[in-house]
C-alpha cells in the first residue's frame, strides 16, 4: 500500500495494509521469538538476527510512524526517555546542545544530572527567545538544538522553522519532541526538523497500558545510524507484545486526538469564565500568547493538554485536585481518560512550573461532564 496516496486517517486505520500473511488475518500476529535461524549458506536470508534489533512486530508501527511524520524511517524504543536520551548519546564528548528551559521535567532532569557524564554540555534558554538561542550558540561546538512544542506543562510554542534555520546555519541538527502535538496536528520534519521524538506511551498508544518511545529521521545519515547502533547495543527496545499493543492503539489515534482537542478547547474556554481560575494556558485560546504561532504550524486542532492556574496559590490548587471525582489525579497524559496533576509537587524546588498550576490531560469523555467536575471542585 502506497504511503503518499492516502490520508493520515487512512494510514492509521489500515496500518499500511499489514496482515497475517500465513493465515490471511487482517491483523498481524505477535512474534515472540528472540532469535532467528541462519540459512544453509550461513546468511540471514530475511535480514533478522536477534530481537534486540529486529522483530516483525517493530516493522509495522515504525513504517506507519515514518509515513505519518513524513520522514525517512523510524525506530521504536522501550520508553520516550530512552528515545530522547539516545539522541544525545549519539553526540561526541565535547559537543554542546541548546534546549529551552521549560520541557518535559524528567528529560530536563536527565540533561542536568546525567548528560555531563557523556561529556555533553547543555545550555538552557528562555522559551520563545530566539535572541537568547543565538547568543547561546558556540560555533564549532553546538551540534544539537532540541525543542518541545507545545512545551510541557505551560504549553509555550517554539517556532520550529526558525530553530531549524539557526541549527542548519551552524551545521547542527534540530530535534523536536512532538509528543503533545502528535503527527495529526504538526509535522516538524516538513518545517525543517531533522529528528522527531515521541513518548509513544502517551497519545500514540493512547490507552495508558504501554511504555514506549520513538524516533523518526528526515535523513538516514551517520548520526541516525549511530543511534540505531546505540539502541541495538543497549537493548532499549519494546517487547513484541508491547509493540503489537502500540500499533493497536495507533489505529485510533486520529479519532482520539480530534475528540481530545475539541474537548480541550471547550474546556479551556469554560475555565476562562470561572472566577476561581487566574489563568488558562492552552494554545487554542486567542488569549494565549503563542496562539498565532500555534495556528501557523499546527493543523486540525491544538491538542488535548492544558493547564490552569488557581487563585489562592499552591494549597488551593492541591485542594482543587483533591476535590475532583471524574478527572483522576495521576501522572502521564494522552490516554482516553482525563488526568490532573499538580506538577510543582512532582518536580520539586527546582521546577520552572508555577506552584498554583494544575496540568490537565483532557480525554474523550463528554466535555460537559469534565467541565461540571472541575466547576464542583473549584466551588468546593
pLDDT digits (tens, 9 = 90+) for 114-158: 999 989 999 999 999 999 999 999 999 999 999 999 999 999 999
Distance CA 224, CA 246 (A): 23
Contacts 24+ apart (CB under 8 A), 267-275: 267/306, 267/360, 267/362, 267/367, 267/370, 267/371, 267/374, 268/306, 270/371, 271/306, 271/308, 271/374, 274/374, 274/375, 274/378, 275/311
Q: Are 147 and 102 in contact (CB under 8 A)?
A: no
pLDDT digits (tens, 9 = 90+) for 73-84: 999 999 999 999
Q: What percent of the chain has pLDDT over 90?
A: 86
Output the CA–CA distances (angstroms, integers) from residue 343 to 260, 281, 304, 364, 380, in the order listed.
21, 14, 17, 22, 21
- Domain edges within the chain: 8-250, 254-379
Distance CA 254, CA 12 (A): 7
Query: Residue 148 is placed in which grid cell?
Result: 518541545
Q: Supply the residues annotated as catalytic.
A: 52, 104, 177, 202
- Comparing CA positions, the residue from 362, 324, 329, 326 lying closest to residue 345 is 329
CATH of the domain spanning 254-379: 3.90.1150.10
- Please say if the pLDDT value at position 2 is more than 60: no
Mean pLDDT on 349-357: 91
Burial class (CB in 10 A: 0-12, 13-18, 19+), 202: buried
Q: Tell me, what DSSP letter sits at residue 20?
A: B
Supply the mean pLDDT for the chain.
95
> Does the global pTM surpass 0.85?
yes
Helix (H, G, I), strand (E, B) or coil at 277: strand
Q: Are 269 and 117 in contact (CB under 8 A)?
A: no
Q: How many CB atoms lie within 10 A of CB 251?
A: 16
Cα radius of gyration (the chain)? 21
CATH of the domain spanning 8-250: 3.40.640.10
Least confident of 45-54, 75-84, 326-335, 336-345: 45-54
**CB neighbours of 249 closer than 8 A, spacing ≥ 6?**
204, 205, 206, 207, 210
Distance CA 186, CA 168 (A): 20
Per-residue confidence band for 4, with pLDDT thresholds at 50, 70 and 90: low
What pLDDT is recorded for position 231?
95
Amino acid at each position: 500500500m502506497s504511503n503518499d496516496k492516502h490520508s493520515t486517517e487512512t494510514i492509521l486505520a489500515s496500518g499500511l495494509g499489514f496482515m497475517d500473511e500465513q493465515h490471511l488475518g487482517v491483523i498481524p500476529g505477535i512474534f515472540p521469538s528472540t532469535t532467528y535461524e541462519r540459512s544453509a549458506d550461513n546468511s540471514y536470508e530475511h535480514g533478522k538476527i536477534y530481537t534486540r534489533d529486529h522483530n516483525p512486530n517493530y516493522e509495522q508501527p515504525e513504517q506507519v510512524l515514518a509515513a505519518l511524520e513524513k520522514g525517512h524511517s523510524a525506530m521504536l524504543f522501550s520508553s520516550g526517555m530512552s528515545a530522547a536520551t539516545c539522541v544525545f548519546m549519539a553526540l561526541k564528548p565535547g559537543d554542546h546542545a541548546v534546549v529551552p528551559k521549560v520541557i518535559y521535567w524528567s528529560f530536563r532532569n536527565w540533561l542536568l544530572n546525567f548528560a555531563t557524564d557523556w561529556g555533553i554540555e547543555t545550555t538552557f534558554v528562555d522559551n520563545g527567545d530566539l535572541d537568547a538561542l543565538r547568543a547561546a550558540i558556540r560555533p564549532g561546538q553546538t551540534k544539537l538544538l532540541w525543542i518541545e512544542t507545545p512545551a510541557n506543562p505551560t504549553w509555550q510554542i517554539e517556532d520550529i522553522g526558525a530553530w531549524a534555520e539557526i541549527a542548519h546555519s551552524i551545521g547542527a541538527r534540530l530535534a523536536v519532541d512532538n509528543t503533545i502535538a502528535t503527527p495529526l496536528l504538526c509535522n516538524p520534519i516538513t518545517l525543517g526538523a531533522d529528528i522527531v521524538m515521541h513518548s509513544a506511551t502517551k497519545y500514540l498508544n493512547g490507552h495508558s497500558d504501554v511504555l514506549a518511545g520513538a524516533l523518526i529521521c528526515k535523513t538516514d545519515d551517520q548520526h541516525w545510524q549511530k543511534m540505531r547502533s546505540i539502541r541495538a547495543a543497549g537493548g532499549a527496545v519494546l517487547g513484541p507484545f508491547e509493540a503489537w499493543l502500540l500499533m493497536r492503539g495507533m489505529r485510533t489515534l486520529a479519532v482520539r486526538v480530534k475528540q481530545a482537542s475539541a474537548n480541550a478547547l471547550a474546556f479551556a474556554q469554560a475555565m476562562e469564565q470561572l472566577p476561581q481560575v487566574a489563568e488558562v494556558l492552552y494554545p487554542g485560546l486567542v488569549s494565549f500568547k503563542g496562539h498565532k504561532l500555534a495556528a501557523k504550524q499546527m493543523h486540525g486542532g491544538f491538542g488535548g493538554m492544558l493547564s490552569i492556574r488557581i487563585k489562592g496559590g499552591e494549597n488551593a490548587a492541591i485542594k482543587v485536585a483533591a476535590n475532583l471525582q471524574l478527572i483522576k489525579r495521576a501522572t502521564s497524559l494522552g490516554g482516553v481518560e482525563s488526568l490532573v496533576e499538580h506538577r510543582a509537587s512532582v518536580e520539586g524546588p527546582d521546577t520552572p512550573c508555577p506552584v498554583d498550576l494544575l496540568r490537565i490531560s483532557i480525554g474523550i469523555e463528554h466535555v460537559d461532564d469534565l467541565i461540571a467536575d472541575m466547576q464542583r471542585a473549584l466551588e468546593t
